[in-house]
A and B are shown apart, each in its own frame.
Chain A
Amino acid sequence: MRHLLTAEELDPDTASAVLDTADMLKSTLLGREVRKLPTLRGRTVITMFYENSTRTRVSFEVAGKWMSADVVNVSASGSSTGKGESLRDTARTLSAAGADCVILRHQASGAPQRIAEWLDPTGTRVVNAGDGMHEHPTQALLDAATLRERLGDVAGRRIGIVGDLLHSRVARSNTHLLRTLGAEVVLIAPPTLVPEGVRNWGVEVTHDLDSQLPGLDAVMALRVQAERMHGGFFPTEREYSVGYGLNAARTAKLPEHAVVLHPGPMMRGTEIAPRVADSARAAVEQQVRNGVHVRMAVLYHLLAGEENTA
């Protein structure tokens, strides 16, 4: 793996290898008093976040630190970007300053691809930490890790993704990765939040959540972003919640073993009821915990993997 830009580009072997490494790291660290591995000592990892984020940035930072990498966090507002520097110059500057890996969150879809092209001659690795409405591959990996833990295996399972499919990078990455790992994916949203052209994704699309629930092994609720509520995609937050919110009555229709996922941050009472979010079915905190191990695994494969020693 040279960069991690999309979940779409991950083949089954690579994806499984990353997940296996995450499992291994997790069990290695389990019960240790000092959670620190020497693997990436002397490596420099820079996170560059052009959008606000708490969990993803912190998760990458912790992942880097637990592997003894030097982690530097840069935010767009406190950098030269605020002075009008181009993305290309910023990326090259971080690379020249010694970054072995740049972790990028950017509001423009495709920005990580561009940076990877620009930095290719330098050898600096690029990880996409979420680009616009495009992809968020480490989120998909941590969701897959969580599903593996809860369900044993992802292959052959039927996973529902509910909510703002149109604008969601989480939905895109999860759709690709879950299919790669052999799961059946069903996308559930009102028609206004389904992208034109979704039929090519090789998934089922439906507007009716309730009829799907009894057949799902897991259901993932996507966040309803505040700005969408005023975009005319649905009449009111309440109506959305009535049709697509995961409440206790709905989750009762799920099979006993089924898992509820949410990438966070949660809008309690809108796409997920508090009682569901805090129930034993919900894997929200487990997702966050796995996020660290998955990101450790990604850094490991990019910076310490076999391809990297060549």
Chain B
Amino acid sequence: MNGVERTGRARLLLRSVRPYGAKEPVDLLVDEDGRIADIGELEETDATELLHADGAVALPGFVDLHTHLREPGREDAETIESGSVAAALGGYTAVFAMANTDPVADNAVVVEHVRRRGEEVGLVEVHPVGAVTAGLGGQRLAEIGSMARSAARVRLFSDDGNCVHDPLLMRRALEYTSAFGGVVAQHAQDPGLTPGAQAHEGANAARLGLAGWPAPAEESVVARDCMLAGHTGGSLHVCHVSSAGTAEFLRWWRSRPGGGSVSAEVTPHHLLLTDELLEGYDPRYKVNPPLRTDEDVRALREALAEGVVDCVATDHAPHAEQDKDCEWSAARPGMLGLQTALSVLVHTMLRPGLLDWRDLARVLSEAPARIAGLDDQGRPLEVGEPANITLVDPHAEWTVRGEELAGTALNTPFEGMTLPARVTATISRGRVTARDGRAQPYGGVLR
């Protein structure tokens, strides 16, 4: 038994899994403490639960640094419960819930509520992100320290949806969070360059008569923030990198010594979709930052493959039907992402040979866990490690239907697309939280 003593009673046996896509399947035993107790060809065990995985690829449970769960405030679009279901079904064992709720998560009370609701639902670790500025107003710092010291132990701070555009305030945020190892996740968008912006500034927006969102509005803020991170010693995380220019800048910046602590994420939709889709003015394709060009898509795939961009984050943004079923400029930006991320990654990165399964474990689990400082997530599939595991059927093909996804929101940009690979089971701290398309909470019962 690999010479490691079991810490508890056997509980769950996964028959025939292929860790990181290995050729030969093995069995994996999980103990009562939610840790991996044994890996190998295992005979009869005293496990109380058996899961025949049929050679599914096993990866460490996914971690999403960028999720909008909409609770409190917009429970008509998503709740912590429905978002947790989507996360479990998508293979996630931890998600970071963005602060742009109503009320804003800019104080200890709100972040503790979010954390506690996540625990009550019991499907996925819900880590609240704290706002950087009070009320996302961009004027003065939120009570960052109180949120960090609260029971929610907030480490990631973001005004996402808005950019912390005041350079002095951004500097202060980077400095202040460094006291307790916090990270500032920046939605990079210079508001002065994007008044009324509706679409990527380029040929399509020009023809469709949509106000442009020029790439330099992102690139210039990323450059400024990297320099501030280098200067202050604070930790910067760049949200949803969307342009080739940002990728190019990050490649250069991160190759230099003394660049400070900088990390970056890319969304699945920016790895696949372009502004050609705006043709019919269907607001399901409206997102911020906007869908850009083929050239940007190519550059983002390369950047992710090289590690210039560390990880994938969904920017899962559910919206109520009335906020998408309208004219383009009135529609809210954002797309569903939790249940399609893995498939989009297999389609855009794995199948073309840019990443292998071990790399997918890195970009979907290990890197985001490291960036957010989660000790129990993104761990190797080894004996003694926490049993946060996602099983994937690599041969599956499925057609995305918004109606069939969790929650009430329908705004998937992949509607009608046939995508490869599917999450067949998610195991969070040793408990099966999703299996064959159904979420199963380990604590209470889903309403």
Q: From the candidates B203, B205, B322, B327, name the one contacting A108 in the complex (CB within 8 A).
A: B327
CA distance A199 to B206 in the complex (A): 10
Identify the closest chain A residue to B283 (Cβ).
Answer: A114
Contact: B209 with A106, CB < 8 Å? no
CA distance A113 to B203 in the complex (A): 19
Instruction: Give per-residue flags for B308-347: 1 if the beta carbon is below 8 A from chain A beta carbons, else 0.
Output: 0000000000000010011111100000000000000000
Contact: A88 with B202, CB < 8 Å? no
CA distance A62 to B267 in the complex (A): 52
List of B residues within 8 angstroms of A172 by Cβ: 207, 209
List residues of A (184-200) whose CB comes within 8 Å of B's CBs.
Answer: 195-200
Contact: B281 with A114, CB < 8 Å? yes
Interface extent on B, as a size class?
Answer: 20 to 34
Contact: B325 with A108, CB < 8 Å? no
Instruction: Give per-residue flags for A128-140: 1 if the beta carbon is below 8 A from chain B beta carbons, else 0.
Output: 0001111100000
Identify the closest chain B residue to A168 (Cβ).
Answer: B209
| Of B133-141, B210-218, B431-439, the one with at least 4 CB within 8 A of chain A | B210-218
- Given A113-B281, A114-B281, the answer on whether A106 and B206 have CB atoms closer than 8 Å is no
- Given A86-B322, A196-B201, the answer on whether A106 and B327 have CB atoms closer than 8 Å is yes
A111 within 8 Å of B (CB atoms): yes
- Given A114-B281, A196-B214, A197-B203, the answer on whether A134 and B327 have CB atoms closer than 8 Å is no
List of A residues within 8 angstroms of B204 by Cβ: 197
- Given A86-B322, A88-B325, A109-B281, the answer on whether A195 and B206 have CB atoms closer than 8 Å is yes
List of B residues within 8 angstroms of A113 by Cβ: 280-281
B151 within 8 Å of A (CB atoms): no
- Given A197-B205, A197-B206, A200-B203, the answer on whether A114 and B211 have CB atoms closer than 8 Å is no
List of A residues within 8 angstroms of B206 by Cβ: 195-198, 200-201
CA distance A86 to B202 in the complex (A): 29
CA distance A215 to B435 in the complex (A): 72
List of B residues within 8 angstroms of A135 by Cβ: 209
List of A residues within 8 angstroms of B214 by Cβ: 196
Q: From the candidates A88, A109, A117, A201, name the one contacting B329 in the complex (CB within 8 A).
A: A109
List of B residues within 8 angstroms of A117 by Cβ: 280
Interface extent on A, as a size class?
Answer: 20 to 34
Contact: B280 with A86, CB < 8 Å? no
List of A residues within 8 angstroms of B212 by Cβ: 195-196
Q: From the candidates B201, B202, B208, B322, name the one contacting A134 in the complex (CB within 8 A).
A: B208
List of B residues within 8 angstroms of A134 by Cβ: 208-210
- Give A134 Cβ to nearest chain B Cβ, in Å: 3
Contact: A110 with B330, CB < 8 Å? no
List of A residues within 8 angstroms of B203 by Cβ: 196-197, 199-200
Contact: A110 with B207, CB < 8 Å? no
Contact: A108 with B207, CB < 8 Å? no
A107 within 8 Å of B (CB atoms): yes
Contact: B209 with A111, CB < 8 Å? no
Give the interface SS of chain A, mostly helix, strand, loop or mixed.
mixed
List of A residues within 8 angstroms of B211 by Cβ: 133
- Give B11 Cβ to nearest chain A Cβ, in Å: 51
Identify the closest chain B residue to A194 (Cβ).
Answer: B206
Contact: A111 with B327, CB < 8 Å? yes
List of A residues within 8 angstroms of B326 by Cβ: 86-88, 114
Q: From the candidates A114, A131, A198, A200, name the one contacting B209 in the complex (CB within 8 A).
A: A131
A157 within 8 Å of B (CB atoms): no
List residues of A (160-199) whose CB comes within 8 Å of B's CBs.
Answer: 169, 172, 195-199
Among A87, A108, A199: residue with most chain B CB under 10 A: A108
Identify the closest chain B residue to A113 (Cβ).
Answer: B281
Contact: A110 with B281, CB < 8 Å? yes
Instruction: Give per-residue flags for A205-221: 1 if the beta carbon is below 8 A from chain B beta carbons, else 0.
Output: 00000000000000000
CA distance A205 to B371 in the complex (A): 48
Identify the closest chain B residue to A111 (Cβ).
Answer: B327
Identify the closest chain A residue to B322 (Cβ).
Answer: A86
List of B residues within 8 angstroms of A197 by Cβ: 201-207
List of A residues within 8 angstroms of B201 by Cβ: 196-197
Contact: B281 with A200, CB < 8 Å? no
Among A86, A109, A172: residue with most chain B CB under 10 A: A109
CA distance A214 to B52 in the complex (A): 81
CA distance A293 to B139 in the complex (A): 56
Q: From the candidates A8, A106, A133, A198, name the one contacting B210 in the complex (CB within 8 A).
A: A133
Identify the closest chain B residue to A118 (Cβ).
Answer: B325
Identify the closest chain A residue to B210 (Cβ).
Answer: A109
CA distance A169 to B203 in the complex (A): 15
CA distance A133 to B211 in the complex (A): 8
List of B residues within 8 angstroms of A86 by Cβ: 322, 325-326
Contact: B327 with A169, CB < 8 Å? no
CA distance A53 to B214 in the complex (A): 31
- Given A195-B206, A196-B202, the answer on whether A107 and B329 have CB atoms closer than 8 Å is yes
- Give A200 Cβ to nearest chain B Cβ, in Å: 4
CA distance A34 to B444 in the complex (A): 79
CA distance A16 to B411 in the complex (A): 41
Contact: A110 with B328, CB < 8 Å? yes
List of B residues within 8 angstroms of A200 by Cβ: 203, 206-207
Identify the closest chain B residue to A231 (Cβ).
Answer: B195
Instruction: Give per-residue flags for A113-157: 1 if the beta carbon is below 8 A from chain B beta carbons, else 0.
Output: 110010000000000000111110000000000000000000000
List of A residues within 8 angstroms of B329 by Cβ: 107-109, 132
Contact: B202 with A108, CB < 8 Å? no
List residues of B (195-244) whose CB comes within 8 Å of A's CBs.
Answer: 198, 201-212, 214
- Give B13 Cβ to nearest chain A Cβ, in Å: 52
| A and B contact pairs by CB, cutoff 8 A, 9 listed | A88-B325, A114-B328, A132-B209, A134-B208, A195-B212, A196-B201, A197-B203, A201-B206, A201-B207
**For the complex of A and B, 6 pairs with smallest distance between CB atoms:** A110-B281, A134-B209, A197-B203, A133-B209, A195-B206, A109-B209
Residues of A that sit less than 8 Å from B by CB: 8, 86-88, 106-111, 113-114, 117, 131-135, 169, 172, 195-201
New A-B contacts (8) at CB < 8 Å, excluding given A87-B330, A134-B209, A195-B212: A131-B209, A132-B329, A134-B210, A195-B205, A196-B212, A197-B203, A197-B205, A201-B207
Residues of B that sit less than 8 Å from A by CB: 198, 201-212, 214, 280-281, 322, 325-330
